[in-house]
């Protein structure tokens, strides 16, 4: 089994893979992030569980192919791919000048980088690791899970990021590239789900939302008011859903979007 991405949710994906008896293989550009996640997993699971990590930029096709070849030599199969990495600015509660990420002068450089990690990275990983699944001798050849967001379904409500005493043009906003990447990944899921449907590779999307990660109380209050359940989510609330989506329990599901958002997109 394989997985990709360290970070807040990446760690939970690895927990899901471990709970299902698989071997998580975490790919991340940050070696510090990988170390942190590996230590956390080793402390919460049996230390003898195998956890593999690779420092890699997922926009680098050659490096991805080298990792795929190494995994195929070692294990002979790759069963799961979770496309998790995205540039996800954690601007909640910050007071820095965010002028540069507002739409009117949004830099092409940031746009290109965000599209490259969030969409091109998922495209390349699907191409490299999905093709390895195609050659599997199993009937259920593999599963791809693409991580979107509630912002893949609705526009960010920029009012939650507003701060008193900051000029209008310097108010915090979730960048346009985030919406485009998160909507785009749902399109990628539908395309690949139908493209691979008859081969036995399933492709679905998970939309997590509003994860609590020690944001300041003003932000937590504002966002909770937009959520029918009245609270943010605990990152661990995703683990069982991920396990369901990457296992045979969801064997008839492909092309679907699973939304865990406390009801936010129903309002």
Ligand X SMILES: NC(=O)c1ccc[n+]([C@@H]2O[C@H](COP(=O)([O-])OP(=O)(O)OC[C@H]3O[C@@H](n4cnc5c(N)ncnc54)[C@H](O)[C@@H]3O)[C@@H](O)[C@H]2O)c1
Give CA separation, 30 vs 6, 57, 84, 216, in Å: 8, 9, 14, 26
Rg of the chain on CA atoms, in Å: 19
| C-beta of 141 vs 173, nearer to ligand X | 173
Long-range CB contact pairs, 218-222, < 8 A, 24+ = 218/93, 219/92, 219/93, 219/160, 219/161, 222/159, 222/160
Nearest distance in Å: CB 48, ligand X: 25
Q: How far is the CB of 84 from ligand X (least distance, A)?
A: 5
Beta carbon of residue 19, minimum distance to ligand X (angstroms, whole number):
18
The nearer residue to ligand X, 197 or 228, going by C-beta atoms, is: 228
Reduce the DSSP state of residue 257 to 3 states and report it.
strand
Helix (H) or strand (E) run with residue 147 in it: strand 142-147
The Cα diameter of the chain in Å comes to 62
Please list the residues that pair with 142 across neighbouring strands.
201
Dist. CA 26–CA 10, nearest whole Å = 8
Q: Which residue is nearest to ligand X (CB)?
A: 7
| Residue nearer to ligand X on the CB measure, 147 or 172 | 147
Shortest distance in whole angstroms from residue 180 CB to ligand X: 12
**Which residue, 208 or 262, is less far from ligand X as judged by CB?**
208
Residues making contact with ligand X (CB under 6 A): 5-10, 27-30, 33, 57-59, 84-86, 88, 117, 121, 147, 149, 208-209, 211
Which CB sits closer to ligand X, 123 or 141? 123
Shortest Cβ 119–ligand X spacing (Å):
11
């Amino acid at each position: 089994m394989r997985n990709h991405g360290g970070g807040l949710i990446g760690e939970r994906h690895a927990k899901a893979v471990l709970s299902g008896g698989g071997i998580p293989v975490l790919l991340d550009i940050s070696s510090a992030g990988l170390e942190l996640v590996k230590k956390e997993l080793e402390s919460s699971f049996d230390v003898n569980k195998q956890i593999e990590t690779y420092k890699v930029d997922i926009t680098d096709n050659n490096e991805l192919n080298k990792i795929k070849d190494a995994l195929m030599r070692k294990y002979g199969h790759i069963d799961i791919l979770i496309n998790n990495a995205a540039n996800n600015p954690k601007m909640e509660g910050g007071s820095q000048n965010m002028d540069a990420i507002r739409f009117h002068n949004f830099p092409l450089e940031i746009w290109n980088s965000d599209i490259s990690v969030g969409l091109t990275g998922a495209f390349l990983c699907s191409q490299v690791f999905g093709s390895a699944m195609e050659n599997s001798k199993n009937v259920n050849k593999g599963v791809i899970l693409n991580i979107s967001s509630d912002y893949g379904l609705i526009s960010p409500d920029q009012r939650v990021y507003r701060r008193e005493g900051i000029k209008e043009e310097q108010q915090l906003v979730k960048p346009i590239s985030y919406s485009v990447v998160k909507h785009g990944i749902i399109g990628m899921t539908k395309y690949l789900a139908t493209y691979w449907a008859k081969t036995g590779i399933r492709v679905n999307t998970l939309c997590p939302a509003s994860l609590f990660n020690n944001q300041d109380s003003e932000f937590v209050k504002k966002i909770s008011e937009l959520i029918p359940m009245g609270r943010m989510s605990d990152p661990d609330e995703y683990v069982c859903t991920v396990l369901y989506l990457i296992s045979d329990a969801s064997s008839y599901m492909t092309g679907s979007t699973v939304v865990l958002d406390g009801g936010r997109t129903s309002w």
